[in-house]
Structure 1
Amino acid sequence: MCGILFKVSKSKLEPPSCIPQPLTKNNDIFQTWETLDPETIQHFLDEGSKVPALSKQQIYKLENLSHIRDLNNELSKIKNNVKTDPSMKTEKINQIQTQIDSISKEDEVPLTKDNMDDLIYKISNRGPNYLNYTEIQYNEYHFQLFSSILSLRQPFTKQPIVKDDFILQFNGELYNQKCLDLNDTQFIIDELHDNLQKHERNEAILKTLKYLDGEFAIVLLDLRDKKIYFGRDSIGKRSLSYELLENEITISSVPTIGFTDCENKLYEYDLDSHELASHVLHNLPTYNENPTEPSEEELVKELYAKLKDSVFKRQDAIHPLKDNNNDEDTSKLAVLFSGGIDCTIVAALICQLTTDNHPIDLLTVGFENPRTNQKSGDSPDRQLATKSWFHLCQQFPDVNLRLIEINVDYKSWLLHKQRVRELMYPYNTEMDLSIAIAFYFASSTISDLTTKVTLNDRHVTWEDFHKNMDEYVTRSHGYRSNAKVLFSGLGADELFAGYSRHEAIFNTKDDSKDDSVRYQELQESLNYDISIIHQRNLSRDDRVISCWGKELRYPYLDENFINWVVSTIPPTLKFKYEYIPNKKNKMVFTPTRKYVLRKLAEYLDMGYVSQELKRAIQFGAKSAKLEIGQSKAKGTDNIA
């Protein structure tokens, strides 16, 4: 993984003050500064990860949480008392609400535009193994490039790479067969060099970039034709944004005020004309009904093979899997783990593919909720994650699976909220914050919040374990997960109809539509979900997780896997429904979302998770509506 910052202007650019001067002059147009020194890099990481101190109002609120809760309970009682005189009721409600607001209400700190130093520090957090700053003066143009690298593929390759009058910055992982055992950044520039021998320059560039298979963001400067090519893979799995001003463009892995998130496409910017064009890298296929369509059982088996291959590519491309210090307790591989069907299937496939006793961390996050007084360990996701982890341990007794509990107290939520808001920009709704902050803490390295749980007895039954969990586990408090690669189950809902909006297509009283029309609508809805997942989820999630120097990998969002699912699995196997009589003998609409994925879980002997319902992370981890008095806030509300 890499952090990218690229700026070009016709005006001379001021060097960032955080970069040591003078730079090393490489030739007439290049000057650089670079470092592999851990202490120097740590300074940049510390600057990029600063969180503001708690305000006086926040401290006062923390000191009076029980009093606010009492007031809130009193408020609820008055609202529910139907016998109280309406005018007196309104007066009491206003009085108590005023008391609550005086303690709990705080002014949101407005976001401010980052300067070059700020962006460099933030981008450093994405790649904590190597930093490079490069200045280029070419004709009338002045360039500034900053790269930070998280080294996961060997051999280690510095960035930017210069060849054939191209300068390349690359963030991501490629899974093209030709580069699985190579450094993917070097592979790109070499592939481009080969294509230049056969095609015109622009055609060679587009052919090369459309050939790439993986999760990436890229910036390619063509000095000869004075063009910049930048963008994201066709799903949009890596963050990239830009700001276009008169005679100036800035491209960055982390945006700030005024920046626009890139779409899931490739942009072509002409330095002379300042025109910005775009190219679609890949289009989704369409589903065409096959008269000799495979049976449901055959499709489930093929689904297993395709998804397992997608997991394998992402697991095998971590070089090496263990740290160099040979610490048997350290893993570079973890799963963002709610315990639901999507991530648990991914975890099971990782276990199947594990050939050594590498530790695998299953990261489960829960939030203390001062409004409801719920503890972080009582969240629905924690309960489900514990259950699924237990069964995985039973199913794979030779795999070293650890449940990593991240328990977020309200003070930590307050401390880190502003940093999360900055990272998730331009997203700015209550729902975005509740999702982003859940992923932020789930991937964090804050040992004070983290406990490692290991199962001591893999022969105990679930019934006995559930009665007294502490008897069968060892808890190590203050654990720091050093896993560099995190696997995510994101994409399964978009591919296999996991949301309520998919169910709503069928749960209507519009008799004018038959099932064939509804299933066609379902497939169109699923294709749309995939086409905008970069905008709805991926940019935000990538930034709040990568700020910890960790990389996300998405087996369900592999382009080959998506193409196979869309073109091969009929929508009738993604969503099923029937009408079942209830106790009063009334026929009740009974849906099954992600039907074929549930069949896969059964095929993998994972009945313990095959029927689990979809629960959004902000509700499963209880990161939504933490503030007292916020119970009526909507997810779509903008943060003030």
Structure 2
Amino acid sequence: MCGIFCQLSSSPAPSEPNATVYEQLKKRGPNCSNNLMIQGPGCCYHCVFSAHVLHMRGALTPQPVQDAKGNVLLWNGEVFGGLPVSPNENDTTVVSEHLAACSSPSEVLDVFSSIQGPWAFIYYQKAAEYLWFGRDFFGRRSLLWKFDPEVKIFSVSSVAAHNLEDNAWKEVPAAGLYKIDLKTINKGITFEIYPWKKPENCENDDTTWETVHSECSAITNHSRLVVPSAVTPLNMSLPDTLRENETASKNQQNSKDLAQLLASYGQTSDVNHLIDVLSEAVRRRVQSLPFIEEVESLNKNVANVAILFSGGLDSMILAALADRHIPTHEPIDLLNVAFKLQEPKVQKVAGNKSKKHKCKASNANMENCEVKPASSPFDVPDRITGKAGLEELEVLNSKRKWNFVEINIRPEELQETRRERISHLVYPLDTVLDDSIGCAVWFAARGRGVIRDGSEERPFTSEAKIVLTGIGADEQLAGYSRHRVRFKTSGPQGLLEELSMELNRISSRNLGRDDRVIGDHGKEARFPYLDEDVVSFLNSLPVWTKADLSLPRGVGEKLLLRLAAKHLGLGQSCVLPKRAMQFGSRIAKMEDNREKASDKCTRLLTG
């Protein structure tokens, strides 16, 4: 992973990134930093490139990479398939070599359409005098752009800095590849867009043709070329109409019967296929390890891989599959974040009486554990289910050292860190939801907390540079409450439309933000549920195979994934209902309860 930056102008020459942006870029890539300036013929344009490398694969390859032809590549990505990369090779070098052989735009498109994995890039093609940039189909790597009309400078960057005087940065839409013809820059900046070829049933996002500034124009490329779609189109077939009495019967199931209900389902072939493609996606991501050839990798007491871990279905499956592909003698870090509760609460029961609600980690309905009187102010719902998940994993592989990292955040630290660091990383997103999730993910990915040995605890900081996250599962398998609402109001057709929209907008709602936040620690976010093969397989299935929202919560949503979890040998986590990170970690309870998730968040404003 890297922090990449480019400034382009006709005159005067652009400068290096400002101090705040430069420091944030260096945090993303602490192993190597370099700048390079390119001057066009007759000084008609100037480009400043700045790259900061987090060493992950093969030999350390400084960036910007300038080849023998004078082309310049800034690469922030991972090649997990599509282009051959041997274990000892660095994928930056491989991508640069393939691009150097390109003599036409269509050949450039072929290179990027073939890559499986997350990426963002900036590429100066010297012979044609083109500046290319873009993000992958899902937008799994951050890329921002800004145009300063006063000095006529255009900037592209992995990260930005938020202040009240300069609020012009926007996320580059993950709509395709962008090309600027530098020979015509004196007439203004025009982006030629080479869009992803969307499936016929997938409408283009409203942001597709959004430009960075009114003085910049965006046009479809003159050749009408498109980048082939990275995934199989979504299966839009509809099920037979459910009988009303069948739906009612299913919804009358008691929560205690959920495990039995789940056990009654078959779908063995689809379950096995999902486990196979998801297991391979995890393998690719946990075996492309940092510093694999260096001495420190021989220290088997230090984990190479960490998981954002709540003990919920998505993170439990990632842990179980990572266990398959990481040698048993190496630990895995489970990062569990909790924000301090204001005061312990006691669950109220019938008759206006209250009693202590003893909640063992193995109890059935974990969702009801969130109001037990806490022995610690950090016994939030995700801490309780996280400990329960740890017990399941220890049963699954008792020889593995599972580092369950309790990351406890107090209000004072949250407020200071949000102001000094996180607000700049979440920017240009600005809602209450962005604040809550951005802060929770930042502290979780930092990995600083305590681990317990029996009754004793000791300070611990995760050194793993790979952070697995479960994002993408809910979007594809109807895991959110809004999916149930849509199914209830509009039936299977409405649910399909909702799911079609989910992947379309995941880049702008989640992925750029999460990449910026996790990357700030010099760590790399990896998203197995958004592996191209996983998405293609899930898209190929009819919706009723993936989810049955006529069933109760804890079974119907993400049904296929629950069946896979059961097949993998997991226990009560198979039937845990979805609980959003901002509620499970209790960060949402630390602020104004009257806020809506979509409201602008004043806490993200900085002076």
The CA distance in 1 between the partners of 2:90 and 2:377, in whole Å, is 41
Partner of 2:576: 612
Q: Would the alpha carbon gap of residues 341 and 124 (structure 1) be closer, same or farther in structure 2, given more than 3 Å must change? A: same
Q: Which segment drifts farther, 311-320 or 490-499? A: 311-320
Match of 2:153 in 1: 248
Q: CA deviation at 1:172?
A: 1.4
Output the CA distance in 2 between the equivalents of 1:593 and 1:536: 21
What amino acid maps onto 2:48 in structure 1? Answer: Q
Q: Which residue pairs with 2:522 in the alignment?
A: 549
Distance between the aligned counterparts of 1:543 and 1:376, measured in 2?
29
Partner SS for 1:633: coil
Q: Does 1:161 align with 2:65?
A: yes
1:376/1:409 contact within 8 Å kept: no
- Specify the alignment match of 2:350 in structure 1: none
TM-score, scaled relative to structure 1: 0.74
Q: Deviation per CA, 1:280-310: give whole Å up to 9, x if none.
A: 244351316699xxx7111001111010011
The offset of 1:441, in angstroms, is 0.4
1:496 alignment partner AA: L
CA distance in 2, matches of 1:579, 1:407: 36
Q: 2:286 aligns with which of 278, 303, 315?
A: 315
CA change 1:118–1:320 in 2 (3 A) is closer
Report the equivalent of 2:403: 402
Q: Does 1:179 align with 2:82?
A: no
Contact 2:33–2:51 (CA under 8 A) maintained in structure 1? yes
Partner SS, residue 474 of structure 2: helix
Cα contact 1:371–1:626 (8 A) shared by 2: no
Correspondent of 1:362 among 334, 358, 361 = 334
Q: Displacement, 1:144? A: 1.1
Cα shift readout 1:400-433 (whole Å, capped 9, x = no counterpart): 2110110001111111111211110111122211
Q: Kindly indicate whether the alpha-carbon contact (under 8 Å) linking 2:442 and 2:518 is maintained by their aligned counterparts in 1.
A: yes
Q: 1:370–1:410: 8 Å Cα contact kept in structure 2?
A: no
Deviation at 1:473, TM superposition (A): 5.5
CA contact (8 A) 1:323 1:331 kept: no
Helix, strand or coil at the partner of 1:221: strand
Matches within 5 A, 1:91-240: 116-139=18-41, 140-163=44-67, 164-176=69-81, 178-181=84-87, 182-194=89-101, 196=102, 200-240=103-143
- Equivalent residue, structure 2, for 1:22: none
Counterpart check, 1:600 vs 2:557: no
Partners of 1:288 and 1:260 lie apart in 2 by 33
Is 2:603 the partner of 1:621? Answer: no
**Max Rg structure:** 1
Partner of 2:7: 7
Alignment of 1:355-434 (within 5 A): 355-370=327-342, 376-418=377-419, 419-434=421-436
- Find 2:168's aligned residue among 234, 255, 258: 258
In the alignment, what sits opposite 2:307? 335
Preserved CA contact (<8 Å) 1:322 1:331 = no
What residue is the counterpart of 2:277 in the other structure?
306
Find the counterpart in structure 1 of residue 222 from structure 2: none
Q: Cα–Cα, structure 1 residues 591 and 226, in superposed 2: closer, same or farther, change >3 Å?
A: same
The residue number in structure 2 matching 1:452 is 451
Give 3-state SS (helix, strand or coil) of 1:330's partner. coil
| Cα distance in 2 between the residues matched to 1:327 and 1:590 | 40
Alignment CA distance shift 1:321-1:359 (3 Å): farther
Give the residue type in structure 1 aligned to 2:181.
D
Name the counterpart of 1:476.
458
Residue 95 (structure 1) aligns with: none
> Does the residue aligned with 1:228 lie in a helix, a strand or coil?
strand
1:495 counterpart residue number: 476
- Per the TM alignment, residue 538 of structure 1 is displaced from its structure 2 partner at its CA by 0.6
Question: Partner residue of 1:35?
Answer: none
Kindly, what percent of the aligned residue pairs are identical? 30
2:270 matched to 1:269? no
Instruction: Extract unaligned runs of 5+ from structure 1.
Output: 17-114, 455-471, 581-588
Paired amino acid for 1:550: K
Native 8 Å contact 1:336 1:442 kept in 2:
yes
For residues 32-43 of structure 1, the aligned pairs below 5 Å read none
User: What displacement does 1:14 show?
Assistant: 6.0
Instruction: Report how far residue 334 of structure 1 moved.
Output: 0.3
Name stretches of at least 5 consecutive residues in structure 2 with no aligned partner: 162-166, 197-226, 240-265, 346-373, 603-607
Instruction: Please name the residue that 1:44 is paired with.
Output: none
Partner of 2:356: none
- Partners of 1:288 and 1:122 in 2: CA distance: 42
Tell me the CA shift for residue 612 of structure 1.
0.4
The whole-number CA distance in structure 2 between the counterparts of 1:381 and 1:9 is: 49
The 1:625/1:428 distance shift into structure 2, 3 A limit, reads farther
Q: CA deviation at 1:560?
A: 1.9
Distance across 2 between alignment mates of 1:15 and 1:531: 35
* Aligned-CA RMSD value: 2.4
Q: Verify the 8 A CA contact 2:487 2:494 in the aligned structure 1.
A: no
Distance 2:133 2:393 in 1: 42
Offset, 1:138: 2.2
How big is the shift at 1:545? Answer: 1.2
- Alpha carbons of 1:632 and 1:357: their partners in 2 closer, same or farther (altered >3 Å)? same
Measured after TM superposition, the shift of residue 174 of structure 1 is: 0.8
8 Å CA contact 1:577, 1:590 repeated in 2: no
Partner Cα separation in structure 1 for residue 518 and residue 554 of structure 2: 37
Measured in 1, the distance between the counterparts of 2:236 and 2:594 equals: 45
Deviation of the 1:522 alpha carbon: 1.9
Q: Which amino acid aligns with 1:123?
A: L
CA contact (8 A) 1:254 1:543 kept: yes
Asked whether the 8 Å contact 2:58–2:292 carries over to 1, the reply is no
Offset from partner CA, 1:35-93 (integer Å, 9 cap, x none): xxxxxxxxxxxxxxxxxxxxxxxxxxxxxxxxxxxxxxxxxxxxxxxxxxxxxxxxxxx
- SS of the residue 1:443 aligns to: helix
Are the equivalent residues in 1 in contact too, given 2:7–2:47 (CA < 8 A)? yes
1:132-186: CA deviations, max 9, x gaps? 1112222221221111111010122111111233210000111125115221111
Contact 2:563 2:574 in 1 (8 A): yes
Paired residues in the alignment total 496
TM-score (norm 2): 0.77
Task: Provide the C-alpha distance between the structure 2 equivalents of 1:377 and 1:329, rounded to a whole number of angstroms.
Answer: 27
Amino acid at match of 1:529: E
Residues 482-529 of structure 1: CA distance to partner in whole angstroms, max 9, x if unpaired? 111100111000111101111113324xxxx7xxxx323322321210
- Whether the 8 Å contact between 1:423 and 1:540 is mirrored in structure 2 is yes
Q: Does the C-alpha gap of structure 1 residues 371 and 436 become closer, same or farther in structure 2, counting only changes over 3 Å?
A: farther
- Asked if the contact 1:574–1:594 (Cα under 8 Å) also holds between the matched residues in 2, the reply is yes
Give the 3 Å change call, closer, same or farther, for CA 504–116 of structure 1 in structure 2.
Answer: same
Q: Kindly tell me: are residues 228 and 337 of structure 1, through their superposed partners in 2, closer, same or farther at Cα, counting changes over 3 Å?
A: same
For 1:11 and 1:116, how far apart are their aligned partners in 2?
18
Q: Of 594, 600, 605, which residue of structure 2 is paired with 1:638?
A: 600
On the 8 A contact 2:310/2:385 being kept in 1, the answer is yes
Distance 1:10 1:577, change over 3 A: closer
CA contact (8 A) 1:192 1:208 kept: yes
Quote the Cα distance in structure 2 between the aligned partners of 1:427 and 1:597: 30
